[in-house]
Amino acid sequence: MTDADFPVIRLLPKAKPQAIRRGYPWIYANELVMDRRSRGIPAGTVVRLEDAERGVLGLVGFNADSKIAGRMLDPDPEAVIGRDWLVAKLARALALRTRLFDRPYYRLVHAEADGLPGVIIDRFGDVAVIQPNAAWAEVLLADLASALAEVTGVTTILKNAGGRGRALEGLDDVDAVLLGEAPAAPLPVEMNGATYMADLTGGQKTGLFYDQRPNHAFAARLAEGQQVLDVFSHVGGFALAALAQGAQAALAVDGSAAALDLARDGAARMGAQDRFATRQGDAFDVLTAMGQEEARFGLVVCDPPAFAPSKPALEAGLRAYERVARLSAGLVEEGGYLVLCSCSHVADLSSFTGACLRGIGRAGRRAQLLHTGFAGPDHPLLPQLAESGYLKALVFRL
C-alpha cells in the first residue's frame, strides 16, 4: 500500500501532537476531525494520522466508534502493516521472553508496551491464547495467528473474546480456535515451584494470570511454617506458591467453585493436598465471618479483581480496597504479614497505598511496608502510558 492509499485522519487544531511524537499511543475521538468521511472509514482500517499542519505522525489503527479512535501502530508512514510487520513485532517480543524465562510459559505480547496496541497473547507451551481487544487486530487476526505460529512454533492458537475492551471497540464476544484443537482439559503450568491448572477455554481471561508471578515468589518467602489465607484466590495463586515454599497450611477463598476445583487439582499435583483447603463464598462475607470466628493467620493475601475499572468508579473502588484492608488486617497474627493487591490502573500507587493504610489503621493495626511489587517483566511498561502499569502489590508486616 502506498502512502496515497491510506485514508487520512487529522488532529483538531487544538490537539497537541507532541505527546504522540514522544510515544503516547492513543488518539481520542474528541481530538480528531470526525466528519462524515472519517466516520465512514470501516472499523479497524489502518489510516495515516496528520496534525493540523498536515505533518504526518504515523500509521494508526482507526475505529470511529471507539472513545480511543486511533491506536498508533508505526510512526513510519511508509510501513506496511501486514503479516511481515507482525512477524517482526512478535519476534522482538519473543526474544525478550526467551531471555527472561527458561520455559515457554509467559505473556508473549503485552499490548501497547510490545508495539501491538490492544493485543494480549499468553503462551502455554505449544498453546497460545490471543485477546484481540482492538478493531485493527480483529481485522488482521488471520495474519496475526499465522505470524504467531511462524515465530513461536505453537501448534494451537485460541482466540479469547472475553476482554472488556472488545465491547468498548464494538467487537463480538465469540471465542474461536484459530489453529489446531482446543485442549480437552486444563493444562498444568509450573511457576515458583507450584503447579497451577490453566483452563484455556472456560477460565477467566486467558486461563491464568502470569502477572503476579514475582509477587507470588516474594510472598512465598514469608510463608514457611505459616498458616496462609489467600482471598480472591482464583486457581490458587498465592496459596499454592506458599505451599511450595513450606507453608504449614493454606486456605484459598474464592467465589468461583470451578476456580477452586482447579486450585485443588493443582495442590494434588504438587502432593500438597493434605495442607490445602478451600472455602467458596463472597470474599467480604468470608472475611467478616472469619473475623467473628477469631481466625488468625501468619500470612494473609487479598488479590481482588479491579474494583476501580474506570475513572467514574475510582472513589467506590478505593472504598472497597480500604474495606478489604480493614477486614483482612484483623486476621493477621501479631508480627504476621499482609499482602494487598490492586489491578485497577486508575487507582495509582499513592491512592491505593492510602486506602490500604486507612483500612489497616481502622482495624487497629500498625504496619511496616516491606515491599512494593508490580507485574513481572513479561508485562513491560510503556512509560508514556500509565495504564500499562496497572498491577500493585503491597507487602506489610503488622
What element of type H or E holds 242? helix 237-244
Q: Where are the beta strands (DSSP E) in the chain?
A: 8-10, 26-28, 45-50, 56-62, 68-74, 105-110, 119-124, 127-132, 156-159, 176-179, 187-191, 194-198, 227-231, 249-254, 276-280, 297-302, 332-342, 368-373, 392-397
Catalytic residue among 302, 341, 343, 356: 343
Active site residue 343: yes
Closest CA to 198 of 239, 257, 267, 259: 259
Query: Which amino acid appears at position 268 of this protein?
Result: A
Angle at 120 between CA 206 and CA 269, to 5 degrees: 30
Per the listing, cell 511481515 goes with: 84
Burial call 361-396: b when 16+ CB within 10 Å, e when fewer: eebebebeeebebbbbbbbbbbeebeebbbbbbbbb
| Residues involved in catalysis | 343
